[in-house]
Amino acid sequence: MVDVILGLQWGDEGKGKVVDYFASKYDVIARFQGGPNAGHTLFVNGKKIVLHQIPSGIFHSDKINLIGNGVVLDPVTLKKECESVIALGVDVTKNLFISERTQLILPTHRALDKASEISKGDEKIGSTLKGIGPAYMDKTGRNGLRVGDILEKNFTTQYIKLRMKHQQLLDTYHFQEDIVKWEEEFFDAIEFLKTLNIVNGEYFINDKIKNGKRVLAEGAQGTMLDVDFGTFPFVTSSNTISAGVCSGLGIAPQKIKEVIGITKAYCTRVGSGPFPTELADSTGDFIRNAGNEFGSTTGRPRRCGWIDLVALQFACMINGVTKIVMTKADVLDSMQELKVCNGYMVNGIKTAMVPFQMNHVEIQPVYQTFDGWNSNITEIGIYEKMPEKMKSYIQYINEFLGISIEYVSNGPGTDQIVSV
Ligand code: GDP
Ligand code: IMO
Ligand code: MG
């Protein structure tokens, strides 16, 4: 049996915290896509930790954490991350496993990401510059190197061959940076990677499922950043949606049970691209400060706005969401008034559908206004004790989406989550 936790917006919905919270109910926590562009925050004994590639179940010593074949893995970032979790008492040789089919991010992928973004000028994606796009391009272009390849005798030869291809591209971009130091780090990290558990991920996970183990698939990014269904081209390069679980882990669709979608009580986006409910004003600034909305991976300020039910409904449809967790409700604690987008005006016509090219049409969000609850909910542990005005807000969203918000997160702490 496999359940999925994934983001319904443009990422950073609080997946790390929610996965950590639910991890105790599962035996295996597995990442199925993305790479070091992700930044998943959780708290371990009150200490803030940001994970990029390691699944968010790593601090549960009795859980298996698997990096699946759908991930693009940067060995350099992985080594640093492993060092930081080892320092907190985790034995990565016991509970971290990596699929041999996982694609490697090379130093030249990072260079190409940077060169490509610079060349786009004003039209840049706002990439995290971790080499994600170029690494997935090499996967679909059938050039990439995989984790299993590092155990082959001719790995260095294969590396040099691909690096030369990349160099030709970098030359066309007139990319000047010296990547020799990046390569030294890379080969050092490759040696470290060899000491970890490299497995045949698809047999590994299917064996667990056959033996009745419970798997939690942890999404990265969010539905609106999906390469097929997001706000293309302002997206990431993987399938962030539930369908990505099957191809990113080697799991059959019938094995998937719950699809738990995470949304903030409002909405954020980091990087470029359309965001119909964005508040480029003092309200947006207020939310950014109250929610500490600065990127976990890059530190960039996140763009903030009202919750967008048109985009959320679309995300629920694409993913087959069965239940919703709403995070960061406490961030709205001192707002006098809240807005919920329940339609888009496009060319004078109201629609509840996400347009093909959001950035090519003028979208005017249509709002329903709610009174703010105007009280501190961070210490409340039972839903019944939550303010009535918050319950009305949640009720409206439930009815609009036809799917229930089953948990409300009311603070960053592991235990600050209330079952509805
Ligand atoms: P992820 O990428 O989806 O895992 O989310 P991030 O870790 O990038 O960003 C979520 C941020 O919100 C982190 O700093 C979390 O500690 C924080 N957070 C998560 N849930 C809550 C919540 O309910 N309330 C508040 N105030 N912060 C939260
Ligand atoms: P988590 O898992 C928020 C955004 C980038 C950029 C676009 C493409 O923490 O929610 P990429 O580096 O993939 O080429 O960037 O996607 N992006 C994210 N935004 N959260 C993330 O991950 C993101 N990963 C990528 O800002 O706009
Ligand atoms: Mg994040």
CA of 119 to the centre of ligand 3 (A): 26
Task: List the CATH code of the domain at 263-419.
Answer: 3.90.170.10
With a cut of 50, list the residues of the chain below it in pLDDT. none
Please give the Cα distance from 322 to 4 (Å, whole number). Answer: 10
Taking the CB of residue 379, how many other CB atoms lie within 10 A of it?
10
The tens digit of pLDDT for each residue in 286-311 reads 999 999 999 888 889 999 999 999 99
Residue 255 is given by DSSP the state G
pLDDT in the model for residue 177:
86
On the question of a common fold for 2-99+198-260 and 103-193, the answer reads no
Q: Hey, what amino acid is at 415?
A: D
Of residues 20, 27, 40, 109, which has the active-site annotation? 40
Whether omega before 107 lies within 30 degrees of 0, making that bond cis, reads: no
pLDDT in the model for residue 297:
80
CA of 13 to the centre of ligand 1 (A): 6
pTM of the predicted protein model:
0.97
Q: 261: closest CA among 217, 291, 297?
A: 217
Fold topology of 2-99+198-260: Adenylosuccinate Synthetase; Chain A, domain 1 (3.40.440)
Q: What is the best residue among 113, 226, 270 to mutate for testing ligand 2's pocket, by most ligand atoms within 8 Å of CB?
A: 270
CA of 67 to the centre of ligand 2 (A): 18
Gyration radius of the chain's alpha carbons: 21
Instruction: Confirm whether 40 is a catalytic residue.
Output: yes
Candidate CATH numbers 1.10.10.10, 1.10.300.10, 2.60.40.1930, 1.10.940.10; the one for domain 103-193: 1.10.300.10
Q: 329: closest CA among 387, 400, 259?
A: 387
Q: 341: closest CA among 291, 389, 401, 290?
A: 401
Domain ranges of the chain: 2-99+198-260, 103-193, 263-419
pLDDT in the model for residue 103:
98
pLDDT in the model for residue 156:
97
